[in-house]
Amino acid sequence: MTMAFFNRKKPLKILFVATESAPFAKVGGLASVMHSLPNALVRLGHDARVMIPRYLSIDDKPFHLQMDFKGLSVPTGDEEGQKHLVCNVKRYDPIGGGAVTYFLENQEYYEQRANVYGYADDPVRWSLLCRGALEYVRMKGDWTPDVIVCSDWQTALIPNLLKTVYAKDPVLSKIASVLSIHNLYFQAMFDHRFVSEMDFDDGHSPVPGLSDPRISKVNWMRRGIMFADVINTVSPTYAREIMTKENGELLDELLRERKSVVSGILNGIDYSIWNPEEDSFIAVKYSQSKIEDRIKNKAVLQERFGLPVREDAFLVVAVGRLAKQKGFDLLAPVLPHLLDELPMQLIVVGEGDSEIMSFFHDLETKYPIQVATHLRHDSVLPHIVFAGADVIIVPSRFEPCGLTPMEAMRMGTIPIVRKTGGLADQVEDYHPSDHTGTGFLFEKFDSTSFMISFIRAFENFRDKEKWRSLQRRAMGKDFSWERSAKKYVDLFIRAIRSKDVF
C-alpha cells in the first residue's frame, strides 16, 4: 500500500505477532497488552488481529478454536537438510465481537511444550513464529494486514525478513512493520553485554535458518530496530531514555540514528477490570465523586492482614514483582526508621528476589502490628489493596511503562514513584499550593531522595480535605486503552506512509 493510495479514513488492518496473549497464554504484562490493545482498536472501528503459538496449555474446547489453514508449509531458511516445517493455523472468534486470535500449531515446537518460555531452542521456536506468521499472510490470501506489529525480541525478526527474504513478494512487500519495545534489556537468548567480537551480530548478514546454530547468536532486537518502519516503546520518557548511553543497552547509537521513527506511547489499563464502582472483589464500591465511601475498605484491608484498624494510620503498600529492578533494595536503609517514627502501616504483596522477600519477612517479624506480607503472586489481592491503601511505593531503577501506579490511581491510592520511564509519564508531582499533581516523585536513585518524597506524602496525608482532592484528581486521570489506541492508530498510519521512504 503506497502513500498515494493510502486512505486515512479507511479502517486499518493490523496483525500483532507475539509469544503470549491473555487469556490464552499469560506469563507477563505483554499478554495483557496483546489482549487489551487489539480489542481497543476494534472498538475504534479497526480490524486488529493477533497471532501466537498454540502451546500445550491452550485447549481447543473452551475457546471453540476452528481450523483456518491446514498444512501450512513454512520455509526454514536452511540451505541443507529440512527445507520446510508443516504447521496448522487455528482461529478464535470472540463471541460478541472483538479481536480475532490465530494460533500457529506445530507439534515439535509448541504443542508439546508446557511453558511459553525457558527452552534451549527458543530462538528456533520464535523464528518459526516469525516465518509462520508471514507465510500464513502470504498463502491465505483473503486478509492482508496494512501493518504487522512485533513485540520485543522474540518477534523482532519480522521486519528483517520483510525487508530481505520477502522484499520482492507481491503481498508481503507492501506491509509496514512496527517494532514495539517493552524492555530493551532483553535482546536475544544471550546477554548482549558479554558478546565476543567473533559472535557480534551487526544485523547485516542473512537471517540464519532454523537449524543453523547461528540463529542463537543473532541480536534480534538490533535487527528489529534496523529494519522496522517505525519503532515505539511503552512510554514517551522511556523512548527518550533508551537513546542515551546510560539506558540504551549498547543500542543507543543505533536508536539515535533512527531517532526520527522512534516514539513512545504509554500503555493503558483495562477499565472494565479496574473500576471501583463495579469491582466485585472489594467490600464497598465507591466513585471519584463519592471518595468518602472508600474509607470503609481501609478498615477491611487492615482487618484482612491482621493490622490494627486505624483510620489515621498512613497505610502504605508495595505490590508486584519484588526485584532490584523495581528498586525495593532502596527501602532497607530507611523503612525501619520510618516505621519507628511515623504512625504508618505497611502491606507487601508479591514475589521476587529471595533477598528482598527475606527483608520484608524480617520486617514483618520485627514490626508485627505495623507490617504484613503476602509474599506470593495473587491476582485478586491488588484490587482489595488498592481500594483501601493510602499510598503505593514504586521506587524503580528503570521502568519502561509500569502498570501498577495506573491501577492504584484508578482506585484512589496515591503513588510515590521514582521519576523514570513510564512512571514519569503517569504521575504528576503534587503541588498543594496550586492544587495540581497526582502523586509524589523523586529523581535520584537513592534512599534519601525516596525518604524525602515519602515524608512529603505523609505530611500532606494529614490534611484530609487536600488528600481527598488529590485522590479525586488521581482517579480522574485517563489511562484507558482507548486513549492509547488512538495514538497507536496515528503510529500505524505513520508506518504505512513512511514505508516508501525507508
Provide the pLDDT for residue 500.
56
The predicted model gives 311-318 an average pLDDT of 98
The C-alpha atoms of residue 169 and residue 190 are separated, in whole angstroms, by 32
Q: Reply yes or no on whether the pLDDT at 198 is more than 90.
A: no
Whole-number pLDDT of residue 277:
97
Q: Grid coordinates representing 368?
A: 508485627
C-alpha cell at 420: 523514570
Is 275 among the domain residues?
no
Is 26 known to sit in a ligand binding site? Answer: yes
203-251 pLDDT, tens digit per residue, is 888 999 998 888 888 999 999 999 999 999 999 999 999 999 999 999 9
393 and 448 belong to one structural domain:
yes
Asked if residue 351 and residue 254 are part of one domain, the reply reads no
- Indicate if 145 and 188 belong to the same structural domain: yes
Whether 19 and 136 map to the same domain: the answer is yes
pLDDT at 501: 42
- What pLDDT is attached to residue 502? 39
Q: For residue 217, give the CATH number of its domain.
A: 3.40.50.2000
Domain that holds residue 97: 14-268+482-501
pLDDT value at residue 354: 94
Q: What is the dihedral of CA 298, 300, 305, 309, to 10 degrees?
A: 70
Do 243 and 134 lie in a common domain? yes
E-assigned strands of 106-159? Answer: 147-151
E-assigned strands of 61-108?
Answer: 66-75, 84-92, 100-105
Evaluate if residue 2 carries a pLDDT over 50.
Answer: no
284 inside domain? no
Whether 449 and 488 share a structural domain: no
pLDDT score for 475: 98
The per-type count for the chain, helices as H runs and strands as E runs, is 16, 15
Residues 357 and 255 in one domain: no
Alpha-carbon 354 to chain mean position: 24
Q: What is the mean pLDDT of residues 469-485?
A: 97
Is residue 5 assigned to a domain? Answer: no
Q: 45 pLDDT exceeds 90?
A: yes
Q: 205 or 41: whose pLDDT is higher?
A: 41
pLDDT at 276 over 80: yes
Domains in the chain, number: 2
pLDDT at res. 413: 99
| The residue type at 225 | I
Q: pLDDT tens for residues 349-384?
A: 999 999 999 999 999 999 999 999 999 989 899 999
Whether 474 and 488 map to the same domain: the answer is no
Quick count: other Cβ atoms within 10 Å of Cβ 498? 15
Let me know whether 251 and 170 are in one domain. Answer: yes
- How far is residue 471's CA from residue 293's CA, in Å, rounded to a whole number? 13
- Closest to 479 measured CA to CA, from 428, 417, 416: 428
Looking at the structure, do residues 18 and 127 belong to the same domain, yes or no? yes
Summarize pLDDT for 117-151 with one digit per residue, the tens: 999 999 999 999 999 999 999 999 899 999 999 99
Does some domain include residue 3?
Answer: no
pLDDT (tens digit, 9 = 90+) per residue, 77-113?
876 666 899 999 999 999 989 999 999 999 999 999 9
* pTM of the full structure: 0.92
pLDDT at 279 over 70: yes
pLDDT of residue 366: 98
Buried b (16+ CB within 10 A) or exposed e, 411-442: bbbbbbbbbbbbbbbbbebbeeeeeebbbbbb
Please provide the average confidence, as pLDDT, over all residues in the chain.
94
**pLDDT-derived band of residue 397, with 50, 70 and 90 as boundaries?**
very high
Share of the chain above pLDDT 70, in %: 96
Average pLDDT value for residue range 409-431: 98
In the block, cell 492508530 appears at 489
Across the range 32-50, mean pLDDT stands at 97
In a domain, 125, yes or no: yes
Instruction: Answer for the pair 102, 49: CB distance below 8 angstroms, yes or no.
Output: yes
Q: Are residues 315 and 240 in the same domain?
A: no
Region label for 154, one of left (φ > 0), alpha (ψ between -120 and 50) or beta (otherwise): alpha
Within this chain, do residues 88 and 193 fall inside the same structural domain, yes or no? yes
Residue 286 in any domain: the answer is no
- How far is the C-alpha of 32 from the C-alpha of 330, rounded, in Å? 29
**Which whole number is the average pLDDT over 44-61?**
95
**pLDDT cut 90: percent of the chain above it:** 86
In-domain check, residue 402: yes
pLDDT of residue 3: 44
H or E element at residue 418: strand 414-418
* Residue 9 belongs to a domain: no
Higher pLDDT, 6 or 176: 176
